Chain A
């Protein structure tokens, strides 16, 4: 058995979720007495050898113009070639945006059973069983993978990154490039902001804020905490905030270390998107708001009175004038 981890990058930089996948894959390799190798496609600015500190021994790098743009068919074909050459028996992805596009394709291509959204290392005491979230975080399932090659897509923020000492051996890999059939016309990235799915802290607000003009205090708190901003469904539906900020059952599911919910009542559909957050803080003037039942810390109070005090207290903590 050997483990092959896919390292995801954007604009030459390795994504945080991939560091989690590297740690996970290396821990899995150590537990099963094998080595962890990784594959990365495209040109990278970050120091790849340095990723050895997460436990990966060898990184196969596939370069060439064809691989500088993410394409599910081009990438799947290339990763399959590396998997075959290295004889990998477990492939690890992050279940992030690109992982969700690649892992299922690869699963169908090489007929390897896939567990997407894994939250723990496999139990190999009796077969190969991986724990994942189901029912939008309201339950978990243990999935038995019955194929000789297995694919795990690790839920972001579910596995702690650990770095020690180590240097990875970076080796070029010659892969055949498939012809891309999708043409990317433009990329629109909010620079300087923290991507919601990668954020350690998320500051989120709902209808309790009364209108889009009141989001300044949400953004100010988010900036102080280096957090991403989010919102509830009614807020996105009313176009107070963009759809990509909507967290909940029909929006984006997130699992940050800290989720701060301001003026959100906590309908079951909203909770389904955030219930895997490690710490939940709820600020709501209604003491009966269902969100308090799912919270770790709460303040019963008016957001417009509590938020300025909250921001002041965080400024004091951070030493910001």
Chain B
């Protein structure tokens, strides 16, 4: 079984969020970049676990972005990907990105395509579903468990107020979230090996851009906390009931 894992570069979870160019661009000044946590901890690490359990033969990684995405891809290779493909294009919108990933997936004839449930920057939750549609494949969204045996995947995924267990034949697209795998960090051997693993650069296929960012903004700051004395908890309940009308 060949797995393709979709990797996105995102600002670190503690990065300061600010904008430039009249609020039309994210201010990358001083920002540390990481692998999108959902892509890394859940999709990629579960793929590695499947390979370690001999359920998968190879793990390829795909990202859409400029050369500045390469350190992130190398880190993903250090964790345990076998080779990577970078589609050399700006990540315009989710449909454009999904079109690029679908083209790579078609060429590589992968059995399983895994993505994080969303990126922590655009929070679109769109890539998995779009790739599945472009390839006419079944799509399991928000999966928390994934096992594969003899061309059949068994999954657990989130539903409102619970979870369901389902099965589907490969090929399949899965979006992954918490529960699927435990986070790991690359070891020295992995980091050394990643230096010589193949990182191919592919030119983008023609694809439409359906949406554009007109501008960004920051939410209004909170007015400040109203502290209530710990001996007077009844006052908090009164405030929540009468002032905030929240209970």
Contact = CB atoms under 8 A, between A and B. Distances in A.
B168 A108 contact: no
B159 A189 contact: yes
Interface in B145-187: 154, 158-169, 178-179
Contacts of B17: 135, 138-139
Interface in B75-126: 93-95, 98, 117, 120-126
A314 B120 CA distance: 36
A57 interface: no
A182 B140 contact: yes
Interface stretch (B45-53, B61-69, B190-198, B239-247): B239-247
Mostly, the B contact residues are mixed
Nearest to A137: B219
B37 interface: yes
A106 B167 CA distance: 22
Given A140-B217, A201-B246, A108 B234 contact: no
B29 interface: no
Interface size class of A (residues with CB under 8 A): 35 or more
Contacts of A136: 120, 123
Contact of B120 (A15, A135, A184): A135
Contact of A244 (B120, B129, B158): B158
Contacts of A111: 95, 208, 210
A117 B124 contact: yes
Contacts of B168: 181-183
B233 A299 contact: yes
B240 A108 contact: no
B236 interface: yes
Contact of A250 (B38, B216, B240): B38
Contact of B233 (A112, A113, A129, A309): A309
A193 interface: yes
B212 A143 contact: yes
Given A182-B168, A189-B159, A114 B211 contact: yes
Contacts of A117: 123-125
A302 B230 CA distance: 8
Nearest to A96: B160
A188 B234 contact: no
Nearest to B239: A297
B54 interface: no
Given A139-B19, A201-B247, A310-B233, A298 B13 contact: no
A306 interface: yes
Contacts of A105: 129-130, 132-133, 139
A161 to B, nearest CB: 16
Contact of A109 (B122, B133, B230): B133
B227 A298 contact: yes
Contacts of B208: 111
A265 to B, nearest CB: 14
Contact of B125 (A95, A146, A181, A294): A95
A144 B212 contact: yes
Given A269-B13, A292-B225, A104 B158 contact: no
A150 to B, nearest CB: 9
A295 B239 CA distance: 14
A97 B213 contact: no
Nearest to A189: B162
Given A183-B168, A282-B225, A298-B225, A198 B160 contact: yes
A72 interface: yes
Interface of B: 11, 13-14, 17, 19, 37-38, 41, 93-95, 98, 117, 120-134, 138-142, 144, 154, 158-169, 178-179, 208-219, 222-223, 225-230, 233-234, 236-237, 239-241, 244, 246-247
13 contacts: A97-B142, A100-B142, A108-B130, A135-B123, A144-B212, A187-B165, A188-B165, A196-B161, A243-B179, A269-B14, A299-B233, A313-B236, A316-B234
